[in-house]
Amino acid sequence: MNVLLIALVASVATFIGGSFALRFRDQLHLILGFSAGAVAGVALFDLLPEAIGLGTKYHSASTIAFFIAAGFFGYLILDRLILLHTHEEDSEVNAPRGFFGALTLSAHSFLDGIAIGVGFQASVAVGIVVTAAVLTHDFSDGINTVNLVLKNGGTWRQAFKWLLVDAAAPVAGAASTLLFRIPESTIGLVLAIFVGTFLYLSASDLIPESHHRHPRALTTVMTLLGALVLYTVVHLV
């Protein structure tokens, strides 16, 4: 089975998600609310179980928790001390923060591609399961990439460029597995870092922004819906 072709499907899912965000920009607060729940859902219902399942084979539970905390607080340090998170009126200062968030999501998409490649190295059955799990959240990855750039002062053109980067990342990640093999013990720790990073992005960035100047009841419903959709799809596959 062609691993790069399968990874291309994940890229298409990412691109469709980002295009959805660009097309319905007038309802961005609702999309942000959904994205907040989706990002938290990916972290809690998809990445966290995988990090625990893979990581605890080689490391203690406290080690997994440490790497989750490292992802969370590491991003907090970047956010507060380096990227300088400020109020919305300082959009030009916030722009690097949006770009770094998009880069983080693109790195996650790259890891998705690696996961697909490694899965198929193990067996076709494992590869198919991993691919199904990747597709469940790559659509929201595309939405989240666009949203993070736009809400931090980026332009639509910049958001589209980052969407292209994010969409290309799974194919690049899958291609890289043709050159080397990642130890299973390391993958669990890397996933744990992404858990912490995504929880921070959801709690500190997307949820507050989705509530800004909009009725909180509907955006809260959208946040819960985003988490519910990810929970349902992850458990179906």
**CA distances from residue 163 to 18, 28, 178, 203 in whole angstroms, order as listed:** 6, 16, 25, 22
Tokens of 199: 């929880």
The rounded distance, in Å, linking the Cα atoms of 96 and 107 is 16
Q: What tens digit of pLDDT does each residue of 8-35 get?
A: 777 777 777 777 666 766 666 777 778 7
The full set of domain ranges for the chain reads 3-236
**In terms of pLDDT, which residue wins out, 142 or 89?**
142
Q: How buried is 16 (Cβ within 10 angstroms: 0-12 exposed, 13-18 middle, 19+ buried)? A: middle
Whether 38 and 172 have beta carbons less than 8 Å apart is answered as no
Cα distance between residue 195 and residue 43, in whole Å: 5
Whether the CA torsion 181, 186, 187, 188 is positive or negative: it is: positive
Instruction: Count Cβ atoms below 10 Å from residue 64 Cβ, excluding itself.
Output: 22
Task: Examine the pLDDT at 220 and tell me if it is beyond 60.
Answer: yes
Q: Which of 17-21, 104-108, 180-184, 215-219 has the lowest average pLDDT?
A: 17-21
- 8 A C-beta contact, residue 37 and residue 159: no
pLDDT (0 to 100) of residue 26: 61
222-234 pLDDT tens trace? 888 888 987 887 7
Q: What is the pLDDT of residues 49-103, one digit of tens each?
A: 888 988 899 999 999 999 999 999 988 887 677 554 444 444 444 567 777 778 8
The larger pLDDT score, comparing residue 193 to residue 47, is at 193
Phi and psi at residue 179, to the nearest 5°? -105, -30
pLDDT of residue 66: 97
Phi–psi pair at 155, nearest 5 degrees: -90, 170
176-203 mean pLDDT? 83
- For residue range 111-139, what is the model confidence (pLDDT) as tens digits? 778 878 877 775 676 677 667 666 655 66
Q: Indicate the length of the chain as a whole number.
A: 237
pTM above 0.75, yes or no: no
What integer pLDDT is reported at residue 93 of this predicted model? 46
